Amino acid sequence: MEMPYVFSVHRAYSKRSNHLKAKTMLELFIELTNQIFWVGYAQELAKDNPAGFQFEFNEFLNSYNN
């Protein structure tokens, strides 16, 4: 499945450079679930309940489209 690349561009600063890093919606979903539940929640859900993971990920994506 191809992941959409939208909605988040993070600016990283250092003494030598200033660069942007785009994140996929999947990466943002994983970061969000790590903060809400526990680190590794999304990976565990994907492994134990792929349909549940897909449902939750689709709900996350739909929240940005509405």
pLDDT in tens, 23-32: 899 999 999 9
Whole-prediction pTM value?
0.65
* Rg of the chain in Å (alpha carbons): 14
Proportion of the chain above pLDDT 90, given as a percent: 59
41 is written with which tokens? 């929640």
pLDDT given at position 56: 96
Q: Which residues of the chain have pLDDT under 50?
A: 1-14
Q: How many Å apart are CA 21 and CA 24, to the nearest integer?
A: 10
User: Exposed/middle/buried for 57, CB within 10 Å: 0-12, 13-18, 19+?
Assistant: buried
Phi–psi pair at 19, nearest 5 degrees: -135, 160
